[in-house]
Amino acid sequence: MGKSLASQGPAGLRALASSGDGYWELNLLDGSAWFSDWFRVQLAWSAEARQTSWSALRDYLIPADWARLLQSMRNHLEEGAPVDLEVTVGASADPRGADSRAAPRCWRIRGAAERNSWGQPHYFAGVAQDVTTEHADRRAMLEELIELREGFEALPTAVAVINEIGVIRRGNRRWQAAAAALALDGGPLDGGPLDVGRDYWHGWQRLGPLPDTGVIERLRALLRGAELDFSDVITIAATPEPRRIGVAACRFDLDGKPQLAVIHDYQT
């Protein structure tokens, strides 16, 4: 059997190493594996004990992620599914007996098979990246979004976000309950004219004639940046008994697009 590509030191290896990522190859013909020096540094492998088996990673990955990695590679070989997953590199016992106390890291492992002219896979090669910082940042962002969502829902008044074209993008529970109450009270639209997904301007118009307050024009001016703030009390005549709604709004930008945060205070 010829010498494997993994052991030949392919041209460009120094350029790959300078990227700061780890590279690996698995010879599917003889079962041997090659790892770039990145793995030796990350996993504290000695320079003398070169790792030549794919199972060398098993003791460093948490068991569930090792199983996920093998399943992902199997799915790629059998079905062509991409190998692209994040795994946790835990503080496992080193195979040589040294106990690693390093904090767990997060790696992103990607790879693909190389096939011969008959379509049979003979090499599996890929890259590993340390994405611990990115993983922590995503987790922190997710936690922040959850906190913002829970705070939004807990507000003691009806609040919604209106996008740059006037569509109600999100409303908290109080907003949605109030929109449903308007429909039950005789609102002209099934589901409520101020429900999420509705046109906010059109919703006001279909709630019936408004007093001459210019509410829609003033809110649109606020969205354009022509006004600094908005606050008014509107009387709705479309319900069996006229209802008064205190309306306040402020403008903010989301991805460069103006949005409105709108508060409704449903008064008796």
pLDDT mean values, one per 10 residues, the chain (268 residues):
50 64 92 91 81 90 94 94 92 45 83 90 93 82 80 87 91 84 52 77 69 74 85 72 82 90 82
Q: Which of 187, 157, 158, 184 is nearest to 170 (CA)?
A: 158
Task: Tell whether 150 is covered by a domain.
Answer: no
pLDDT at 25: 94
Q: Is 45 left (phi over 0), alpha (psi -120 to 50) or beta?
A: beta
pLDDT at 113: 94
The predicted model scores a pTM of 0.55
| Residue 82 shares a structural domain with residue 47 | yes
pLDDT at 15: 64
- State the residue for tokens 């590509």: 5
Query: What CATH code is carried by the domain that includes residue 179?
Result: 3.30.450.20
pLDDT at 152: 82
Task: Tell whether 144 is covered by a domain.
Answer: no
Domain carrying residue 249: 155-267
| Residue 163 shares a structural domain with residue 91 | no
Q: How many domains does the chain have?
A: 2
Q: Provide CB contacts within 8 A for 25, sequence distance 6+.
A: 4, 5, 6, 33, 34, 123, 124, 125
